[in-house]
Structure 1
Amino acid sequence: MPSSGPQYGKCRYCQERFERTGKPGRKQEYCTPACRRQAQRERSNSARDVPQPVNNPLPLARNIAESVQALAEGLLAAEYDEQDLTVRLGRAAELTREIEYYMGAAVHDARIQGANWDAIAAAASVSPGTARSRWAERSVRRRLQRYASERSVARQRDPAGHGVQARLAGPDGASPGGPSGRLAAALSHLHRASGLTIREVADKMDLSPSYVSRILSGERVPVWPVVEALAHLFNGDPDELAVLWENAQGLTPPARPPLPEAADRLHAALRGLYLAAASPPLTHIQKASGGTLSMRTVTDILDGKVVPDWKTTVNYVRAVGGSPADVRPLWEAVHYAFLVFLDPAPDTAVPPSAADTPSTSHDSHPGQDGPTP
């Protein structure tokens, strides 16, 4: 039988085209023995590098994600404050670095749970080779060690915690972080003040003790009826928790409510943040604000006697460990309603009486910062 000519193949390792030897047996897959040995070596190393699942591993990515959220809040606050471009770009660069750390940690966590490179590559929209190269186990470990070292240096430079992730710690030393953390902190403070045990709360609410514990620790964000019932059980005001709960759920506040309702929601939110900070002495808030808030101003804010201007609102919110971005829509709603009250459209219904409007120290039309104390 005449020969069919040379047979060619593509090396599975180097991807080069080569001429097969034509020897009987299994089809030749590698161009040289060196390529075959190198492919076998990499397969063996890959198998050894696969992290083995462990019981209840600590999710590194979750911790870094919380840091990403805090940095994003700091960048947004810098925008609201119209800070210098250098400051805003610096915060954006810091956020970008944190996101890179997060991606490495997220892949590390996925590998710990047994995910293979094909699944990771699909999630990241890259090739398996790129994923393996970008997030190799040793490389990721080095990055995470560098991350831990950077955080340690940051804590040494800022032992008091005045950075963007700072929170005004409560009497137990805990610092609420993120919307769900602030809701949990407020509920925990009310719970401590009530004197009830977890078991007693669970019995009265017809819930399991473990679920109540997860709510108070911030691991679970319950539905509003549960939050409302807990507030009543702890002798608190549910209205002061409403905005905290909405922020934890990612809900959008009502658009353009009337002035009394808008002012009530803002005041309740500001008092809710005070609860989340464990109702600290007013002197602590004054100190945390860097002296920008007077005792009288803080008292008036908590009593709902004034609608502070935006800069005062930002100073207060930061001093009690909140995020100005969460409060901004509420403050703008009051500002908008106040403008409508002073200059209503021809077809607008009769505005609320002056007795129903929030107190301000100025009777004139509010400027850019709105009503001021």
Structure 2
Amino acid sequence: MAAPLRSVDYSCSFFPLCTPGQEGPVLEDKLICCHCRVPFVRPHRLGRLPSYCSVACRSEAHRTQSPSSSSAADVSTRINKSVQSKTRALARAAAGPSYESALTKLARCRNIQQDLSDLMAVLSRQALHQEQASWDDIARSWGLPAEEVRTSVEAADAATRRRRPLSGRSYQAADCVSAQHRLGRALSHLQRRDGRSVRALARALDVSPSYLSLILLGQRVPSWDRIAPLIQACGGRPDDLHGLWERARGLQFADKTPDQYQQALQAMLRGLHVAACEPDIKELTATSPLLRARQVRAMLRGAPNGPALAEWPAVSALARALQADVHEVRRLWCGAFDTSP
């Protein structure tokens, strides 16, 4: 008599095929691979039932899968929002006369296409593991051969795994980083770059080390009269961080002339660059196809009224690469180039 089927532990699977305690699908001494869904013969009569047909399938499943199906739903929701926002922006740019070039619009289309590919890969995984669909069923939805669909999904999974924050630093999402924290991060980076300890810097500024530590942690935002000498003492430019200080204090942008808005926009980008620990130009250009090294240098160090800052897609891409609040940057850009937000 064949050995009784044992429960398979799916605790490390990205999309659970069955709940703990249920038995894996069996077809007359054959099992179905939890990853590729291909039937395979049980290699040994004793021991726990294998979940995958090969070591390669097991490794691929563990790399691409996450602890719960809710994670996949979150990924799908984020991609949906990204597609919607990018599509609306492309529609506005293509509706009539635009400052954007045809190449910029093509880059927008490519970004949307990449998001759609990622979304199709996520939905394919959901259909495969949650709805028990086969690769042939998924291929019919794609309108492509099953082998080509499987290759495309696996390539999209690999591309998603390769995406990492700049230089492996632990950047947080822009909507999770408070304005105070961002200012403190910029000041802390200047202090580390200066090389002096907190105690030595506090002695030079005639403040207590504990109070200076609270400032560097973003837990205190003193007046500009105290922040500006701190920036200067660390070799920074106070104008670059003035916009971050205004946001941390909850101040609204004052009305300015277009030239003043352009200067404020460039200073804000430089301040965000400092808050991101001054990543290299190559690291920034690697985050978006819209960014070029010369263009990024011009936005950070060139003339405020130069053509680089006039291209909103590039400014937006740089702001996102620096984990900034794009809406605040957009307000400055609109004021600089007399455009409605």
TM-score for both structures, normalised by structure 2: 0.49
TM-score for both structures, normalised by structure 1: 0.45
Higher Rg: 1
